[in-house]
Amino acid sequence: MHEPLLTLDQAVERLLAAAEPVRARETVALADGLGRVLAAPVVSPVAVPPLDNAAMDGYALRTSDWAAGRPLKLSQRIQAGQVGAALQPGEAARIFTGAPVPAGADAVAMQEDCEAQEGWVLIKRPPQPGEHIRRAGEDIAAGQTVLTAGERLTAARLGVAASTGATALTVHRRLRVAVFFTGDELVPPGRPLAPGQIYNSNRAVLTALLQGLGAEVEDLGEVPDDLEATVATLRAASARADVVLTSGGVSVGEADYVRAAVERLGRIEFWRVAMKPGKPLTYGRLGATDFLGLPGNPVSAFVVFGLFVRPFLLRRMGAAVRPPLRLPVPAGFAWDRPGNRREFLRARIEEGRAVLYPNQSSGVLTSVAWAEGLIDLDIGRTVAPGELVPFIPMSELLV
Ligand code: AMP
Ligand code: MG
């Protein structure tokens, strides 16, 4: 199988084209909405704020009444939650942040600019019309669409929905993702290691990443390097899940049975992507279930998850997907080995410059734990210190 290498963008495009959003929807209470994907827009029945209101503690007045040294009569006191009476000429109202501005008033003077005494207030600075008033509807107009289908519910978006009075939201049903980890050498933490064995770290990383994306995770654990065992686990996984995700066993080694197993039960597409780490990317179908095979190397698995699996799963969940942010950051390092694959380096920002983890090997998972993001180095690129390099913040790959 020696097809030409795909570029990263070509591979992402192919994967996204294959991702069918789950159709089923359900209604969730606002309090259960975090991380879910909206399947219907949220339209506000109310204006937010509902009324013009004070942006400061102070005094509401008619600006046309103001003259230097002339006090205004204090006629009322309006707290947040109360509605005052119309302001008459020559009057001012004591008012507090969030309280509706009384009819007739066209400004709020901040209390730091005022002297109040026995029923009168002197406003020492000329107020400007509209000053310190938040306008009705300046956040949200009645009838406005505040959230659209495909948006993922974050804390702030849940707050926006709450501010319109929403109690329940229409979301896509959760995506079911089954995951297993191939390798005779793998042992779950909690057991002693025999010679030649290693602890299964991809399991911790990938199940956490899937949970972070809001998937329902079915964790089938370690599977030995054996064709029949792999076929059996794959069959069980595909029966229960929308997507099956695996790690390891997709290279071209003799103990790599995952592709053969997928071919037994369905069909496979195998792409070699011109990137480092993470060259092999495997996608396939098992009936109605999608299959994604990740490389076993922990750093490769993480990077391939962030750049390919994450956008695939998000689209599958019904979410709108856009490419990860790439922020230009001055390099705090030199790179004088131009590569023939696009390379993703584990980096941090220190004093405004991107610095690299000293060991960039694809087996060194501590580089990922240390990193705040990835430097995206194009094919053939060299870097002198101070040159701008694209930095992908970790948050763009995780959640
Ligand atoms: P493979 O892709 O199966 O050829 O594995 C490549 C490398 O990643 C080997 O050194 C494996 O031991 C290692 N590896 C595979 N799966 C895991 C895992 N789940 N956790 C930690 N390392 C792994
Ligand atoms: Mg293996």
User: Residue 278's pLDDT band (boundaries 50, 70, 90)?
Assistant: confident
Out of 179, 202, 222, give the residue to mutate to test ligand 1, the one with the largest number of ligand atoms within 8 Å of its CB.
202
State the distance from the centre of ligand 1 to the C-alpha of 349, rounded, in angstroms.
Answer: 29
Query: How far is ligand 2, taken at its centre, from the CA of residue 67, in Å?
Result: 83
Share of the chain above pLDDT 70, in %: 99
226-233: long-range contacts, CB 8 A cutoff, minimum separation 24: 226/257, 227/257, 227/260, 227/261, 227/264, 230/182, 230/257, 230/258, 230/260, 230/261, 231/261, 231/264, 231/265, 233/180
Q: At 29, is the pLDDT very low, low, confident or very high (cuts 50, 70, 90)?
A: very high
- Confidence class of residue 98 from pLDDT cuts 50, 70 and 90? very high
Give pLDDT, residue 267.
96
Ligand nearest to the CA of 252: 1
Whether 28 shows a pLDDT value over 80: the answer reads yes
223 has pLDDT over 90: yes
Q: Which residues contact 384 (CB under 8 A, 6 or more apart)?
A: 331, 334
**Rounded distance from Cα 248 to ligand 1 centre (Å):** 5
Distance CA 397, CA 306 (A): 4
Q: How far is it, in rounded angstroms, from Cα 141 to Cα 279? A: 49
Q: According to the model, what pLDDT value does residue 65 have?
A: 97
pLDDT at 142 over 60: yes
Distance CA 236, CA 246 (A): 13
What pLDDT score does 270 carry? 79
CA of 280 to the centre of ligand 2 (A): 13
**Mutation choice for ligand 1 from 193, 297, 302, CB with most ligand atoms inside 8 A:** 297
Which protein residue has the closest C-alpha to ligand 1 atom 5? 296
Cα 12 to the center of its chain, rounded Å: 18
Residue 3 is predicted with a pLDDT of 64
**Res 373 pLDDT > 70:** yes
**d(CA 297, ligand 2 centre) in Å:** 9
Tell which atom from ligand 1 comes closest to the C-alpha of 297.
8
pLDDT at 33: 98
Q: What angle (nearest 5°) sits at the alpha carbon of residue 376, between those of residues 373 and 379? A: 160
pLDDT for 140:
98
pLDDT (0 to 100) of residue 256:
82
Ligand 1 site residues (CB inside 6 A) read 181, 183, 185-186, 198, 200-203, 247-249, 251, 253, 295-298
Instruction: Specify the pLDDT at position 57.
Output: 98
Confidence at residue 2, expressed as pLDDT on a 0 to 100 scale: 60
- Number of Cβ atoms within 10 Å of the Cβ of 131: 18
Q: Do residues 283 and 269 lie in contact, with contact meaning Cβ atoms separated by under 8 Å? A: yes
Nearest-atom number in ligand 1 for the CA of 185 is 12
CA gyration radius, the chain: 30
Q: Which of 87-96, 159-168, 246-255, 390-399 has the lowest mean pLDDT?
A: 246-255
Pull the structure tokens for residue 93: 């109202």
Ligand nearest 224 Cα, by number? Answer: 2
Cβ-Cβ contacts under 8 Å for 133 (sequence gap 6 or more): 52, 53, 54, 55, 101, 106, 107, 108
Q: Whose CA is nearest to atom 23 of ligand 1?
A: 296
> What pTM does this model have?
0.94
Q: How many other CB atoms sit within 10 Å of the CB of residue 378?
A: 12
Distance 200 CA to ligand 2 centre (A): 11
pLDDT of residue 279: 78
pLDDT tens, position by position, 303-339 = 999 999 999 999 999 999 999 999 999 999 999 999 9
Q: What is the mean pLDDT of residues 237-265?
A: 91
177 vs 272, residue with greater confidence: 177
Whether the per-residue pLDDT at 299 is higher than 90: the answer is yes
Ligand 1 centroid–CA 182 distance in Å is 8
pLDDT of the residue at 72: 98
Q: Check pLDDT > 90 for residue 255.
A: no
